[in-house]
Structure 1
């Protein structure tokens, strides 16, 4: 173990005193969680307590499976330690609840929670293209339309839709319940029900092929939604639209494609899947998992959006690709919610998504210029972004705010792969001095590979306007032949970000490497370290990826990234690397980059 690691952690803590995640573990500090082992039914709750010894600071960060605050499919935990199990887990599982001492982030204590699977078992009703809405809805006498079924069935019911084409709009306005269970809309086993929007208008001005309005305990699973088009700037088509308020909503394993606006200006909008929390009661306990969204023509809008008063949500294991604007976005401060204090997507988990070929270079609303993010947080807060593979977006991952006086804040970006972006790999700070920025965000253990494919001069990691109190550490940056690794072009007397323990290299070797800091270019790591007063343990060396042609960005034996990361604690690093391996070794050492060797 490197003897300097604690010394460097102390130095970093002094420089970034407002970021509790970088305070080192002190030997005298301990934390104990009680109880240490419990069993809970679906939706069950358990109050945990944490006792910190050896410090006057009794505060802890609560995590579930390494995710601060947990997530709907893992179970959520409040700041006071109240854990709530998932309501609809398809199978029993064990969750790990951890308390991390804020005074010493390397000190943790954990409890095991056995969570039971959901036991809901309501009636099943059927829809088929050969059915009739005057029938009973049984297997032998199915209904004809999905809308009739969803307007008719009680809480806890399942609607199975036979394979075939359904040319209709479906609006869901009534709910399941915690006692009766979810209302579930699902394709029949082994079949695919397709909602096709060909020839349908947008009667409510902004409407999905499926719209959930103030609905709770609803699931939509395994449908195909396609071919919904608008030719008007005042009519916005969506694949799935969730609006108002509501809780315990699951959107799983659907395929959404060819949702289109033909308006070729910034006033044209379409969405693949959008969640708009527009009420004083939030949309919460939201799971968007395993969906595919592709070949969308969204104009000035996005592929998958979480916007406004939405809390405790996850966007996981989705495949988002070949779209003409932003892939996944969490938004705040657009006036979506009725009050500013609620108008912010928060407490979210964006994990395990594959995002590729996201570009506005063929989008007239953006004058065919590259500006589409793979993953974007625009004014959101307290969000964890991990295990995503973002390839060939215009900007890989961006944390910023488009609204003056507001920031994206307390977002952790960790253990992601970002490669072949057209403009930049990761970007923080607002795009102009007149908009908002990025505050208290942590970007650790990511691997960035040959981004800025258009050689725009944006580089691997771009720092723009109004960035403050941010941390960038343990990342591997492998630039293309232009060699630009860090691009901080805004002149500021206050460092916008603390950079530590990163590994730098370029496709043309060390000689091509360059850094921009305070709008001045440096061509040696030593000069950059001196100018930025950072990267005291930064390294300019070949990371020895397994392959740079495939590419395979795991580390070969002998890589200088192995065991050379700075351990920042579970809340910052996460429990697992990109491949699902434990993030730290038994001795507490970690690697730089997205993979743990």
Structure 2
């Protein structure tokens, strides 16, 4: 007994016993030619699931190039400054291919993170996952109370619904579902990804739905999808309380060719490349959007519910010829409202209407200021009570309109003639200072 007590006392004094030592971070390897491996470089695991099952905080799973025909569920968490990281090895191409997989639940994913934290996905591709019934296939699914999740430099394509009933067809490329009414999914980063050619039915390409807060969707390329590009949603019953996405940024993305025109669930144009439906306190800034049904929309599809505190600034939106460059409100009298919508310093060129003011948006807290409107109707809808001056309606004198260079020439009268406001942001679309010598341009570029 004396020996045991002495040992314990020594452990408490020195902190050097193996039982109290933090385990060292490991490098775990996966390869398509792995066979009964132990996860070492020389003897890799054969499946990604084997690796994530043993990974602990601080570990990095290096996946060698090739196609992996599996679904993955991450059941372990990292810690602050010690994430669990899944990434491609060096520059090798890693494809998680769902062509041999079936959806087995209502909302299913090729990779699922539920109720976990501090996980990073980096440099992976997710492709070819579909459903021919009411189940919803998803490339990457984050759900429950997960937090501090990073999805970076990933590619997601050909996630498709093949449900023959267009009124029940749904799919997502990447979905964040905050399902707990008390604890939000939070600190989610979706960055530097390319997400394209997904067939989605009634659903959205990238969606944040329910109790979701503190997020950043940045520097992604989202294109050629048959529904909304990015959607930040509230009030769909995903969580019983706090059921709305909030307190986030959607910035520096490029979005194009996102349209429901050929989607059998719609058969008409209706999709925004960036959409806030019931979300609040969200900044949409420094994005470039073209050739979509709507560039940016801030609306509420739920009666007596409000989308609010949305700042839409320093974006370039052009060639949205079906509906509008920017829309806000409720799309009919039975829908919800939009308040505290601040639309500042956007450059809008060749859109069907540059600003579409929908129902339940006629309030003094909505403002349309410092924008350039060129080639297209400036407004559609009722502007009553909405502050909408000053804006720039003349020939802006762009540097090279034919090459889509919408910077202002030095002799443009849109230079240095806007008004300074708390809503203009720190940086213009190029990342330069938004205000120079106490002056500000109209449009997205300083």
1:427-477 per-position Cα deviation (integer Å, ceiling 9, x unaligned): 01100100102101101000000012xxxxxx1111011112201100001
| 1:413 counterpart residue number | 312
Counterpart secondary structure, 1:147: helix
1:558 to 2:411 alignment: yes
CA distance in structure 1 between the partners assigned to 2:24 and 2:176 by the alignment: 28
Give the Å deviation of 1:550: 1.7
| 2:432 counterpart residue number | 581
Give the Å deviation of 1:174: 1.8
1:239 to 2:136 alignment: no
| 1:593 counterpart residue number | 443
| 1:122 counterpart residue number | 25
| 1:472 counterpart residue number | 368
Q: 2:260 aligns with which of 345, 357, 360?
A: 360
State how 1:497-508 maps to structure 2 within 5 Å: 497-504=386-393
Name the TM-score, length of structure 2 as normaliser.
0.92
1:3-52 per-position Cα deviation (integer Å, ceiling 9, x unaligned): xxxxxxxxxxxxxxxxxxxxxxxxxxxxxxxxxxxxxxxxxxxxxxxxxx
1:353-390 per-position Cα deviation (integer Å, ceiling 9, x unaligned): 00001111110000x10011110000100001111001
Q: 1:205 aligns with which of 102, 106, 111?
A: 106
| 1:382 counterpart residue number | 281
Q: 1:442 aligns with which of 335, 342, 349?
A: 342
CA distance in structure 2 between the partners assigned to 1:226 and 1:592 by the alignment: 42
1:462 to 2:356 alignment: yes
Give the Å deviation of 1:192: 1.3
Q: 1:256 aligns with which of 126, 146, 156?
A: 156
Counterpart secondary structure, 2:111: strand
1:158 to 2:60 alignment: yes
State how 1:78-477 maps to structure 2 within 5 Å: 122-132=25-35, 134-178=36-80, 181-232=82-133, 234-264=134-164, 265-279=166-180, 280-339=182-241, 342-366=242-266, 368-421=267-320, 422-452=322-352, 459-467=353-361, 468=363, 469-477=365-373
Pair 125,169 (structure 1): closer, same or farther in 2 beyond 3 Å: same
| 1:507 counterpart residue number | none
CA distance in structure 1 between the partners assigned to 2:40 and 2:406 by the alignment: 53
Runs of 4+ in 1 over 4 A off after TM superposition: none
Give the Å deviation of 1:557: 1.3
Please tell me whether the aligned partners of residues 55 and 76 of structure 2 are also in contact (alpha carbons under 8 angstroms): no
CA distance in structure 1 between the partners assigned to 2:127 and 2:379 by the alignment: 41
Alpha carbon RMSD of aligned pairs, Å? 1.3
Give the Å deviation of 1:121: 7.7
CA distance in structure 1 between the partners assigned to 2:153 and 2:24 by the alignment: 21
Give the Å deviation of 1:123: 1.1
CA distance in structure 2 between the partners assigned to 1:407 and 1:348 by the alignment: 17
State how 1:506-585 maps to structure 2 within 5 Å: 541-569=394-422, 572-585=423-436
CA distance in structure 2 between the partners assigned to 1:590 and 1:122 by the alignment: 50
Give the Å deviation of 1:173: 2.2
Give the Å deviation of 1:201: 0.6
Ranges in structure 2 where 5+ consecutive residues have no aligned partner? 1-22
CA distance in structure 2 between the partners assigned to 1:246 and 1:304 by the alignment: 17
Give the Å deviation of 1:500: 1.6
| 1:39 counterpart residue number | none
1:188-235 per-position Cα deviation (integer Å, ceiling 9, x unaligned): 111011100012111122111111111100001100110111111x21
CA distance in structure 1 between the partners assigned to 2:355 and 2:366 by the alignment: 13
Q: Which moved more, 1:264-273 or 1:155-164?
A: 264-273
Counterpart secondary structure, 1:365: coil
Give the Å deviation of 1:122: 2.1
Ranges in structure 1 where 5+ consecutive residues have no aligned partner? 1-119, 453-458, 505-540
